[in-house]
Chains A and B, each alone.
Chain A
Amino acid sequence: MLRKIFAIAALHLKTTYQSRSALLFGLAMPVVFTLVIGAAIGQQEGPAAEAWELFVVNEDRGELGSQLVQNLEANPVLEVRLEDAETTRAELDAEEISAGLFIPEDFSARLLDGESLSLDFIANIKDALSGQVVEQAVQAALNELASSIDIAAASLRVATRLGLFEPGLAGAPSEADYQREAIDSARARMQSGPPITVQAIQQTQRKEPGDAIPLGFNQSSPGIAVIFAMFFVMAGTSSLVVERERGTLSRLMTAPVSKGIIMAGKLLGVYISASVQFAIMVLFGVFALGVDWGAEPPGIILMILAFTFSITGLGILVASMVRTSSQIDAVSTILIMPLAGLGGAMWPLEIVPQWMQQLAVFLPSGLAMRGFHDLITRGLGLQDVLLEAGALVAFGVVFLAVGAWRFKYE
């Protein structure tokens, strides 16, 4: 019996890939998609090492304005250029620069009086990313200065209560000098390293973990593979419907084998070709484009086999519910897109409502994403994804049973 199943599977693969263009598409499709993924990941290596240009207009009549400029200059992310207001506004209007900061003439005076103030910061919307980086860097410099001022104010209060500024005390400094001195020592102290530092570390078993705060697309290569694998499998099972339409399926039925064996053989063919396509995506990604698929090949293989199995089951289930091949295209797309979205293949699940996050565990796509993330980003091993793989196989068995039972052969 097994031999018959394999023979039919081989026949299916042979007829599918008989024409050169079908072979090309069957194999080229995964390569094209991987290229898209690879390019997307290549794009997103985060803000480049270069510095972002920031125009600063310093009209402050006191000293704090230039201290702020020094704080800004100390940040390697920024390339500070001092300009007058007119030039800066003209450059901004011409959309030549990404951001400009304006320090008003009463900056020092108001700050030393303990006032809160807000500086004009104009960013060019075209450079959304650099604008954000620059904004954060500027705010950090402002916070540092504000903190020095708070510290100096406290020191001044203490000295006042100790009576340092009582009239007639010989050799005592003026309040203004004392405050300035305090600001200077606070700034020096902070630049030599603040008391508490905060360190973010990725929780992963990988030997070479990435950045603690990874950027978008690094997350998405398994997601894109999962989406396209679903499309491959559905295209494969839809071939059953096409064969039924063209009458080749009923011709096969005249052979002296049972329906069950024909179905098993066909599905095995679909399963093999989908698994191969998934594997091509992974291998081409890893070796040609340097896409990160983790350090646990056995786990990845298990997840690929389990996931394509569950989707093959889903495919036959869908095939059993439709009459024509154009219907199966519509129905499979309407299934795949929500499965991809709800399973976390299109965007990180953390940004969706909680009920959606919980739902993901009950979807093949969600289980697959969980398994791939465990292996690739968390650096866990084969034994840690057995549960996900088992659940996928269980899904597959149920789908296959219902689908094969309901499928009409002619």
Chain B
Amino acid sequence: MKVLRIAWKDTLTRFRDRKALIGLLAAPLIISALIGLAFGNINFGGSEPPLSHIPIILVNEDDGQLGQVYEDVLTSDALADLLDVTKMDDLQAARIQIEQGEARAVVHIPTGFSNQIIPASTGASVGQASIKIFTDPTSTVAPVIVKSIIEQISAGINTVNLAAEISAQQAMEYAGILGPELARLAEILPEELSQENFDFETQKLSLNKSQVGEVQQDINAFAYFVPGMAVYFLMFSMFGGARSILDEESRGTLPRLMTTPTPISEIILGKMGGTFLTGVLQFTILMLASRYIFQLSWGNSLLGLAMIVLLTVFAASGLGALLTSFTRNQLQANVVGMTVSLVFGALGGSFFSTQNLTGALDFASRLTINRWAMDGLTKLTISGAGFNEVLTEAAVLGVIGLVTYALAIPAFQRRFVK
């Protein structure tokens, strides 16, 4: 009974402190909203480039028709949303624009480009030339997009030019049979090689893609980061809750409590019970708020969700108790708590997806509460898994909780009963 009374009193105190509520509830929601804003238009499962209006500079030193082809395509309406093209004459000045963060790429078409490619006479071989793209080294996505656009244009030009070369050369091989008719080649060739005869819009050979393996739905940013932030801030409040035992110790209220006939283990359990209750409430309110504010679905299995949430809070509060029982004072507990929540957050997938981790890093990630909680939660929310499919995660979290509490309570007892 006493355990429950202490727990309830602590929970009430915590939810009455308006500034502490910021950390419990507002922070995770605000940060999720911000991440959602940043990634709002990005479909994590899709392949569409998430960028638009990429600032690029075109330095076209070619005075022939091919340079003009690049210019026309890059400034066409079809690419107007994707690229913001500026024309410049001075390559050096253009490259400095990249350094100043004003452009993500500079496309350079050299002098005499068309003349190098287009054969001087009908039937002569096509020459070679190169286009250089200077890219922003701090940028990862834009250079790939710009390069693939330039490659596509180049592939089209290559096809037309090789078609001219091969058509002429092949026809000339039959000069003996064709006789004087061959003289019409110079007239027919340009007609047959006009743009209309080549369709670069539709891909002649494409892939009909399908996937095997676990079906992955399109993930929106909220579905990943709301649980991520919820778990991260849960760790904070759980460590803070455990630390409150030290606050009472230094304020002298704990020794006073200990003069009452309440055994120390009950006091500790009461304090930790309050922390646990706070965590459950915090998580529940966050789930409800994100459901109504961000329309985030928390999956189909209420039972599975309840199990994962309760066991996550259990494990996190247990770890908080264990760490606190070994630290000397609040200051130290503060530093330790902050370190562990940050490391766990980073490794366990609260900030970055753990999907691509392998080897030692993946192993380290699996040592964190965050990872198991996130795996369980995203299985339920994103993959729509049921109760049975998150039993492993639940079991691991349960074991972490049991072990940490089993170590923490005797440690506190030793510490306070001197």
Contacts and interface: CB of A to CB of B under 8 A. Distances in A.
Contacts of A39: 360-361, 364
B88 interface: no
B94 to A, nearest CB: 9
Contacts of A122: 209-212
Contacts of A172: 174, 177
Q: Which secondary structure dominates chain B's binding surface?
A: helix
Contacts, number: 361
A351 B139 CA distance: 9
Given A155-B163, A162-B188, A43 B170 contact: no
A219 interface: yes
A142 B155 CA distance: 13
Contacts of B16: none
A66 interface: no
Interface in A160-200: 161-164, 169-173, 178, 181-182, 185-186, 189-190, 193-200
B361 A199 contact: no
A357 to B, nearest CB: 9
B216 interface: yes
Interface string B334-347: 11101100110011
Contacts of B126: 195
A39 B359 CA distance: 10
B351 to A, nearest CB: 7
B135 interface: yes
A143 B156 CA distance: 10
B250 interface: yes
A287 to B, nearest CB: 20
B165 A43 contact: no
Contacts of A120: 207-208, 210
A123 B210 CA distance: 6
Interface in B113-140: 117, 126-140
A377 B174 contact: no
A3 interface: no
Given A119-B207, A353-B37, A40 B236 contact: no
Contact of A351 (B51, B143, B203): B51
A239 to B, nearest CB: 6
Contacts of B188: 158, 161-162
A150 to B, nearest CB: 5
Contacts of A246: 250, 330
B140 A196 contact: no
A92 B244 CA distance: 55
Interface stretch (A4-12, A77-85, A207-215): A207-215
12 contacts: A21-B328, A40-B361, A119-B206, A121-B207, A123-B212, A146-B204, A154-B192, A197-B130, A322-B19, A334-B26, A338-B34, A354-B53
The 10 closest A-B pairs by CB, nearest first: A330-B23, A125-B213, A142-B205, A146-B204, A154-B163, A334-B27, A155-B167, A121-B207, A377-B137, A196-B154
Interface of B: 17, 19-20, 22-24, 26-27, 30-31, 34-35, 37-42, 50-51, 53-54, 95, 98-99, 101, 104, 106, 117, 126-144, 147, 150-151, 154-155, 157-159, 161-171, 174, 176-178, 181-182, 184-185, 188-189, 192-193, 197-198, 202-216, 233, 236, 240, 243-244, 250, 327-328, 330-332, 334-336, 338-339, 342-343, 346-347, 351-352, 355-361, 364
Given A122-B211, A186-B162, A203-B136, 16 more contacts: A22-B331, A120-B207, A151-B166, A151-B167, A157-B192, A159-B170, A171-B177, A181-B170, A182-B170, A189-B166, A194-B162, A203-B98, A215-B140, A327-B22, A329-B23, A348-B140
